Amino acid sequence: MAAKFTTSNFEQEVLSSDIPVMVDFWASWCGPCRMLGPVIDELAAEADGYKVGKINIDEEPELAERYGVMTIPTVMVFKNGLPAKKSIGVQPKSALLQLLK
């Protein structure tokens, strides 16, 4: 299961991480987000050398705003505390894994 990132743990879990962190910006009312959810959870379960978590934009709007998330689902990979790569919309697992490289 993917971790739940919030404003209170974002700095510690994502920005201060010494391994890449995949962040899924999503919302419960978003159909494509619900389609992508199981893929994100699968990546989290298989995580080796990276971390995976989700941000519910309805609960954490300031994080979505800070990173310019206008469309969901948006998946971002953070490396060394900075957003390194981004994908918008439902993507296959293989495409999401490419973001980590």
List residues with catalytic annotation. 30, 33
Whole-angstrom Cα distance, residue 68 to residue 98?
22
**Strand extents, DSSP E, the chain:** 3-4, 21-26, 51-56, 74-79, 82-88
Is 10:16 a contact under the CB 8 Å cutoff? no
